[in-house]
Amino acid sequence: MHVQEWLETVPAVAVYALVGIVIGLESLGIPLPGEIILVSSALLASQHGDIDPVILGACATAGAIIGDSIGYAIGRKGGRPLLAWLGGKFPRHFSEAHIATAERSFQKWGMWAVFFGRFVALLRIFAGPLAGVLHMPYWKFLTANVLGGILWAGGTTAVIYYVGIVAESWLKRFSWLGLVLAVLIGLTSMLVLKRKAKKTAAATAATAATAEPAPAPATVGD
């Protein structure tokens, strides 16, 4: 069933809860279609007055911030064994190559990797747990987490909602377009990261074959 059609069958409070929970679980580290649910709900809010876009955006933002924070705490406590366990459960998302690429981004950009990672499908799943594993100072993580969560969740809700208000009849005929765009953006991000991950894995293997073992990476933000 079309996601938006299914959302139309449930009460507004259930839509708010669903958006917050799905985005929260995705931010925590569980691969879920948070962006698709958010876009669909914002489109629905623009067409039905019983769904308040402000409450919707607030629930999405809260889910993003809380989920990332829980993921950070779990990652800080679980450490690298947690990443190995996630790799076994979700090999397509938490493969060693993907983790290496994400870790390089964190080592290079620090808290900005958390902020900008909110807008990239794969990094959105990694950000919280990996920041905890790398022991990023919590105040830096929280700052980037809150700013990124507000801009991504609140901004996405506002943009999709107002576009729906301006072009309601167009969106009703082509409501799939918003979902297709969200999926294409997510897939493109994952393909780019996958290509970078393969290059990183190849380079790491070549280095390991010719050089001595590298020292353990320094804590992010120290």
Report pLDDT digits (tens) over 35-83. Answer: 888 988 888 888 777 889 999 999 999 999 999 999 899 888 877 777 6
Q: What is the value of pTM for the model shown?
A: 0.67
∠ CA 106-131-146, nearest 5°, is: 100
Better pLDDT: 173 or 8: 8
Alpha carbon distances (Å) from 54 to 16, 59, 60, 155: 10, 9, 10, 11
pLDDT, residue 1, reads 47
d(CA 159, CA 215): 46
d(CA 154, CA 168): 20
pLDDT, residue 150, reads 93
At 205, the pLDDT band (50, 70, 90 cuts) reads low
